[in-house]
Structure 1
Amino acid sequence: MNYIRTAMLLAAMTALFMGIGFMIGGQSGMMIALAIAAAMNLFSYWNADKMVLRMHHAKEVDERSAPDFYRMVQRLAQNADLPMPKVYIINNPQPNAFATGRNPQNAAVAATTGLLDMLTPEEVAGVMAHELAHVKNHDTLIMTITATIAGAISMLANFAFFFGGNRNNPLGFVGVILMMIVAPMAAMIVQMAISRTREYAADRMGAQICGEPMWLASALAKISGGVARIHNPDAEANPATAHMFIMNPLSGERMDNLFSTHPNTQNRIDELRKLAQSGMGTGGGSSFSQTQAASSGPWGGQPRPSARQPERPKGPWG
């Protein structure tokens, strides 16, 4: 159902783009704007992962510098039948994480130090499973396509101001002004709706990857509180990357409305609880207990490290 919604939203954005292009300059004007927007977004598609990681000052880690975190991502990638992504840590106290990369073969996952410090290993596993679900679902590609169309719509609206539209526009210059205001806003709403739809799909697949829906549910509750309290200067400086994070880093937004990049947190938790109640995982809070069988989750048969050891050496969890 999520895939159907995404396809319908993409179709709506494409139809909006085609209609605006015809009203402004006919077929030739529409194709010129599309070519320019596609060229701009093609560059972003091939370089978006490096740009985003640089914006947020992410540092790549390996099995030596962050052994437990790296091995956890490795185990989850195996569960998801994905190539091992590059792993990054962002020195930022706000708990958050994101995935980037144009395809599973060129993917990267990143978590903040705030996420690693605030959450238990099981909760971190739920978060990283969610990010790997984005990789597996090719959500980066989907969002690139929507960004391309949204950019083309905004460009067409700007063209309307200079060229005034064509004779097919029944509202004349007033219609051009309305188009300049309404068209980009409509494109933004559809783009955000697609992003919110993909978050629900990633939550579900992430729960399947780690095997415990309540790990992610508990993590979302903690992240929501942390995001509301802790400012993220890098995200504020680069608001266009907000939709990539597991939770909106710009504010502790609680309302699921047309202008939000993410679903309401409680709605996401409720959906994960339904998965747990349907029989996936243990379905209880005891899954976070240190007394649970060590064979459960990405830690395998090894003792699970603590995320709150005060004497831990450099790197997350030792």
Structure 2
Amino acid sequence: MMDRDELEGVISHEISHIKNYDIRISTIAVALVGVIGVIATALIFFGKVVLFSSDDDRDSRAAGLVFGLGMMLVGFLFNIIAVPLAMLMQAFVSRHREILADVSGVELTRNPQGLIRAFKKLQVYEGGGHPKRTTSILAKSPAAELCLVTPVGFHHLFDSHPPLEERIQRLEHKI
């Protein structure tokens, strides 16, 4: 599908991911999202344990009820607010690492046209400008069926790669 210069641009982009330690950074970002999710789950679980622990003393039972409900509420808030925010940050880091790999790849080959042409071919081949491997929280969410349309302004919020058009323009301006 690609000629020698285009293939060289793509390979240099991927080598730049290795050179820039992108796997390490992505792993840390994923781990942070996981830790936040575990904290939220633990808060909900321990809130349930405290809430449903039986005690004969009426005052301690009331305190357990308040404390258990409070822990569960904080856990639910973590799930509702902190986890999506962490996922947003992970997607943001991923998009910026892709841009860095584009620029570093061009520095390796000293031929921006190869990568630009490769992106243009991908854009035509995939028909839209977003790589198929981009992820969207709305597309993967169990609640995706509840959404008739993607909320305005959030369509590509969780994408792991910037749009190809944006990447092409950025490389063309570097020439």
- The aligned counterpart of 1:123 is 6
Cα separation, 2, equivalents of 1:186 and 1:144: 17
Q: Greater share of helix residues, 1 or 2?
A: 2
Cα separation, 2, equivalents of 1:222 and 1:266: 11
- What code does the residue aligned with 2:133 have? P
Question: In the alignment, which of 173, 190, 196 is matched to residue 95 of structure 2?
Answer: 196
Which stretches of structure 1, 4 residues or longer, exceed 4 Å deviation after superposition? none
CA deviation map 1:234-288 (0-9, x unaligned): xxxxxxxxxxxx944368xxx9832111112111101100112xxxxxxxxxxxx
- The aligned counterpart of 2:60 is none
User: Residue 43 of structure 2 contacts residue 74 of structure 2 at CA under 8 Å; is this kept in 1?
Assistant: no
Cα separation, 1, equivalents of 2:155 and 2:80: 23
Cα separation, 2, equivalents of 1:121 and 1:263: 24
Decide which structure has the larger Cα Rg and report it. 2
- The aligned counterpart of 1:162 is 45
Question: In the alignment, which of 27, 34, 41 is matched to residue 151 of structure 1?
Answer: 34
What's the TM-score once normalised by structure 2's chain length? 0.69
Task: Call closer, same or farther: CA 1:197–1:260 in 2, change over 3 Å.
Answer: same
Aligned residues with identical type, % of pairs: 33
Q: Mind listing any 5+ residue stretches in structure 1 that lack a counterpart?
A: 1-117, 230-245, 277-318
SS of residue in 2 equivalent to 1:164:
helix
- The aligned counterpart of 1:208 is 107
- What code does the residue aligned with 1:132 have? I
SS of residue in 2 equivalent to 1:119:
coil
User: Residue 127 of structure 1 contacts residue 219 of structure 1 at CA under 8 Å; is this kept in 2?
Assistant: yes
Q: Mind listing any 5+ residue stretches in structure 2 that lack a counterpart?
A: 51-62, 136-153
What's the TM-score once normalised by structure 1's chain length? 0.40
- Aligned-residue CA RMSD in angstroms? 2.8
Taking CA–CA contacts closer than 8 Å with sequence separation of 6 or more, which of the two structures ends up with the larger relative contact order? 2
Matched pairs, number: 138
User: Residue 207 of structure 1 contacts residue 213 of structure 1 at CA under 8 Å; is this kept in 2?
Assistant: yes
